Amino acid sequence: MANSAKIEMERKIPVGISSCLLGEQVRYNGGHKRSRYCLDVLAECFDFEPFCPEMAIGLGVPREPIRLVGEADQTPRALGTVDSSIDVTEPLLAAGERIARERNHLRGYILMKGSPSCGMERVKVYHPNGMPNTSDSGVFVRALRAANPVLPVEEEARLNDAVLRDNFIARVFAYDDWKTSVEVEPSYHNLIQFHSRQKYLLMAHHYQGYRSLGRFLAQAHEMPLEQAMAEYIQAFMGHMTHRATRKTHTNVLMHMLGYLKKAIDTDCKQEMLESIDQYRLGQVPLVVPLALLKHYLKRYGSEYICEQTYLNPYPHELGLRNYI
Ligand code: SF4
């Protein structure tokens, strides 16, 4: 999964991360969970901003571990594992709200799995009698996501899955595009331009979402700009959390090939169709038909189609499309 190619970026994208994943010794036992993928690969394009909520609320190292405790129908609380009268739920919630507010410039957040503070999902919740009960998200991340629902978040361990990795990194880059092109200079024009270049990427992630946002934008000028932008980005980022599949990528490739219909001859078209079909059948990765498509689009494609972020959603040196 690691890619050692040097990535040329004009600027790195600010992304939050659980401090222990960067090798900081902030875990309850003084250890860390250094992530090679984050440090050796993603750090080439992300400017990581580490944060440890448990250290931030004053729990030192070493410390008594905490865990989530609650009945099945209750929102769990973060309590000490030895002394259950230690309840750090409220300070952790406040830390999540504070980070969402103070680090509004972040384009994504990478979290440590299984943590009662940082875990994104499936963190064990114990019944007050001590038995494992259900699962939930960590307390810090619960507040972070409630305060900033559009922020792309993912657990570091899930980045081992090629599809989830592609999904998260594409979301971070798309959100960065939003921040730098629409949020800094709000206008209906910039909103439409954003949608226009993200169209096929969105189509690959969620076809219905792509259609409904097209309809939304047709009416958007009738509502105040601020409201239109807020509703749009919330829906867009929500649709982008859906995983793109071989089927949805195949659909997008076929749509894009349609732009070359009159420009390329029958043999080239046949070669392109065969390549897309090999991808659909799982015989080659996405990068194969895409390289061919890009080759023809570069020669014969319109400005509109060549500017689709679907063609280059993130630096190609990451090599993510070699695995999906
Ligand atoms: S609270 Fe989060 S950042 Fe701190 S050690 Fe635990 S998982 Fe890592």
Residue 29: domain span: 13-159
pLDDT at 304 over 90: yes
Among candidate residues 113, 116, 135, 112, the one with its CA nearest the CA of residue 124: 135
C-beta 95 within 6 A of ligand 1: no
Q: Would residue 245 count as lying in a domain?
A: yes
Helix (H, G, I), strand (E, B) or coil at 134: strand
pLDDT of residue 2: 46
- With a threshold of 0.85, does the pTM exceed it? yes
Q: How far apart are the C-alpha atoms of 18 and 30, rounded to whole Å?
A: 15
Q: Do 116 and 265 reside in the same domain of the chain? A: no
Tell me the two tokens of residue 112: 């440590």
Helix (H, G, I), strand (E, B) or coil at 15: strand
> Of the candidates 159, 179, 209, which is a domain's last residue?
159
The backbone region for 130, taken as left when phi is positive above 0, alpha when psi lies in -120 to 50, beta otherwise, is left
Q: How far apart are the C-alpha atoms of 313 and 297, rounded to whole Å?
A: 16
Q: Would residue 124 count as lying in a domain?
A: yes
C-beta 112 within 6 A of ligand 1: yes
248 alpha carbon to ligand 1 midpoint, in Å? 36
Give the mean model confidence (pLDDT) for residues 53-63.
Answer: 97
Give the mean model confidence (pLDDT) for residues 15-23.
Answer: 98
> Of the candidates 159, 183, 213, which is a domain's last residue?
159
Tell me the two tokens of residue 54: 């448990």
Q: How far apart are the C-alpha atoms of 275 and 82, rounded to whole Å?
A: 59
Q: Do 279 and 144 reside in the same domain of the chain? A: no
C-beta 166 within 6 A of ligand 1: no
Angle in degrees, 0-180, between the axes of helices 188-205 and 246-257, rounded to the nearest 10: 120
Q: How far apart are the C-alpha atoms of 18 and 3, rounded to whole Å?
A: 22
For a mutational test of ligand 1's pocket, the pick from 51, 112, 139, 155, i.e. the residue with the most ligand atoms closer than 8 A to its C-beta, is: 112
Q: Is the dihedral of CA 203, 240, 178, 7 positive or negative?
A: negative
Q: Do 78 and 227 reside in the same domain of the chain? A: no
Q: How far apart are the C-alpha atoms of 20 and 63, rounded to whole Å?
A: 15
pLDDT at 4 over 60: no
Unique residue bearing structure tokens 């830390």? 95
Q: Do 238 and 110 reside in the same domain of the chain? A: no
pLDDT at 221 over 60: yes
111 alpha carbon to ligand 1 midpoint, in Å? 8
Q: Do 183 and 317 reside in the same domain of the chain? A: yes
Give the mean model confidence (pLDDT) for residues 269-278.
Answer: 97
Q: How far apart are the C-alpha atoms of 104 and 151, rounded to whole Å?
A: 9
Confidence band of 220 (pLDDT split at 50, 70, 90): very high
State phi, psi for 242 to the nearest 5 degrees: -70, 140
Unique residue bearing structure tokens 């594409």? 170
Q: How far apart are the C-alpha atoms of 155 and 279, rounded to whole Å?
A: 28
